[in-house]
Structure 1
Amino acid sequence: MRIDLHCHSTASDGTDTPAELVRGAAAAGLDVLALTDHDTTRGYAEAIAALPEGLTLVTGAELSCRIDGISMHMLAYLFDPEEPALLAERELVRDDRVPRAQGMVAKLNALGVPVTWEQVERIAAGGSVGRPHVASALVELGVVPTVSDAFTEEWLADGGRAFVEKHETDPFEAIRLVKGAGGVAVFAHPAAAKRGRTVPESAIAELAAAGLDGIEVDHMDHDADARARLRGLAKELGLLVTGSSDYHGSRKSVSLGEYTTDPEVYGEIIRRATGAFPVPGTGGA
């Protein structure tokens, strides 16, 4: 059983539509796929309508959080998307994405980069706008060769020359909200140092004590040493260990199913969730 629990569509910063994403997951031989767009559930309906037979969809979202000045992402699985408190927080974060991206465009212009807001809007194509869309604009302009190269102090990394802060949820509050909506909370790519400062293990221990369910260990941004260290930490703290591609379509080089989650861990996530259930495919369009 092949399970990929972290993927993005055009509802946020992926390049595949939700329908293309689920069809691609089936073609890649996956049995289970989680749709975890940034701070939004807008891709659910299209993904479910197109869900091929034999593929199960786990509904979720990747929540933008910040602790002690460090950005981090929280994967929320199988929560009730209409639960008012979590919905209000997601909307607050999502609504702040536009002025934040506009601020980054202004900073880039001041640095002599001729990026425009219209260009970023076109790249986002109606999705929840974020730094990867601004990064893609820099690639289009030939400023950097790849999206990843835009996430440096030179440009868009935390504290970088064109970085602009946005509203991000306190992770302890995020855990409370996800649990209140019947969901399961997993810390995404906690050792992805190339994205900026990482959350210390002492803080992860505090999050575990507050109800964090797991940490994403097998991920393209974690080398072998980081994975071994995180597995040890997860065992010490009693956390679930997940693996995922963090697929973004052509915006990243990783493939669907390149990293996967153990079926027993997946079963435990389902057991803990009360807000929603995985959706089995019935041969969508």
Structure 2
Amino acid sequence: MRIDLHTHSTASDGTDTPAELVRGAAAAGLDIVALTDHDTTRGHAEAIAALPEGLTLVTGAELSCALDGVSLHLLAYLFDPDEPELLRERELVRDDRVPRARAMVGKLRELGVPVEWDRVARIAGDGSVGRPHIATALVELGVVPTVSDAFTPQWIADGGRAHVAKHELDPFTAVRLVKAAGGVAVLAHPAAAKRGRTLPESAFAELAGAGLDGIEVDHAEHDALTRERLRALAGDLGLLTTGSSDYHGSRKEVRLGEYTTDPEIYGEITRRATGAFPVPGAGGRRS
């Protein structure tokens, strides 16, 4: 059984529509895929409507958080999307995305980059605008060769010359809200150092004590030694370990199913969740 628990669609900063994503997941030989767009569940209905037979969808979201100036992401699985407190916080984060992105465009222009807001808005389309859309604009303009190259101190990495902070949840609050909504909380790519500062190991223990369920260990931005260290840390703290692609379509080189989650871990995630249930595919036809 092949399980990928972290993907993005055009509902946030991926390049595949939700329907294209689930069809691509089936074509890639996945049995289970999670749709975890940034701070939104807007893509779930379309994904469910197009879900191929034989593929199961795990509904979720990737929540934007920060702790002591360190940005981090929390993967929330199978929570009740209508739970009022968590919904309100997701909306606050989403509502801050446009003014933040506009401010980053302004900083880039001050640095001599001829980027226009209309270009970024076109790239984002109907999705929640974010840094990957700005990075794509920089690629189109020939400023950087790849999206990843925009996430540096020179450009839009955390603390970079054109970076602007956004509204982010306290991760302890985020874990509490996810759990209260019946969901399961997993820390996304916690050692992806190229994105900026990462959490100290002491914070993992504190989050585990607050109800964190797991750590995303097998990820493209974790090398072998990092994965080994995180797996040992998770074992010490009694946390689940997941693996996933963090697929963004053509915006990143990683492929669907490039990293996967052990079926026993997936089973434990579904046992813990009470806010929603995995959705089995019906050949793209819902009754």
What TM-score comes out, normalization by structure 1 length? 1.00
- What's the counterpart of residue 144 of structure 2? 144
Question: Offset of 1:191 from its aligned partner?
Answer: 0.6
* CA distance in structure 2 between the aligned counterparts of 1:94 and 1:176, rounded to whole angstroms: 19
* CA distance in structure 1 between the aligned counterparts of 2:95 and 2:240, rounded to whole angstroms: 31
Describe how 1:164-175 pairs up with structure 2 within 5 A. Answer: 164-175=164-175
Counterpart check, 1:188 vs 2:183: no
CA deviations on 1:179-200 (whole Å, 9 max, x unpaired) are 0100000000001001100001
CA deviations on 1:137-162 (whole Å, 9 max, x unpaired) are 00000000000000000000000000
Tell me which amino acid in the other structure corresponds to 2:74.
M
* CA distance in structure 2 between the aligned counterparts of 1:227 and 1:191, rounded to whole angstroms: 9
* CA distance in structure 1 between the aligned counterparts of 2:227 and 2:93, rounded to whole angstroms: 30
* CA distance in structure 2 between the aligned counterparts of 1:126 and 1:102, rounded to whole angstroms: 16
- What's the counterpart of residue 244 of structure 1? 244
Secondary structure, counterpart of 1:6 in structure 2: coil
* CA distance in structure 1 between the aligned counterparts of 2:260 and 2:30, rounded to whole angstroms: 9
CA deviations on 1:61-108 (whole Å, 9 max, x unpaired) are 000000000000000000000000000000000000000000000000
Counterpart check, 1:178 vs 2:178: yes
- What's the counterpart of residue 116 of structure 1? 116
CA deviations on 1:112-159 (whole Å, 9 max, x unpaired) are 101011000000011000000000000000000000000000000000
Question: Offset of 1:280 from its aligned partner?
Answer: 0.1
- What's the counterpart of residue 26 of structure 1? 26
* CA distance in structure 2 between the aligned counterparts of 1:101 and 1:69, rounded to whole angstroms: 19
Describe how 1:1-285 pairs up with structure 2 within 5 A. Answer: 1-284=1-284
Secondary structure, counterpart of 2:204 in structure 1: helix
Secondary structure, counterpart of 2:6 in structure 1: strand
* CA distance in structure 2 between the aligned counterparts of 1:31 and 1:97, rounded to whole angstroms: 33
Secondary structure, counterpart of 1:48 in structure 2: helix
Identity of aligned residues (%): 81
Secondary structure, counterpart of 2:161 in structure 1: coil
* CA distance in structure 2 between the aligned counterparts of 1:180 and 1:209, rounded to whole angstroms: 15
* CA distance in structure 1 between the aligned counterparts of 2:219 and 2:179, rounded to whole angstroms: 24
Q: Spell out structure 1 runs of 4+ moving beyond 2 A.
A: none
Tell me which amino acid in the other structure corresponds to 2:271.
R
* CA distance in structure 2 between the aligned counterparts of 1:200 and 1:243, rounded to whole angstroms: 21
Question: Offset of 1:263 from its aligned partner?
Answer: 0.2
Q: CA RMSD in A?
A: 0.4
**Number of equivalent positions:** 285
Gaps of 5+ in 2: none
* CA distance in structure 2 between the aligned counterparts of 1:220 and 1:111, rounded to whole angstroms: 31
Gaps of 5+ in 1: none
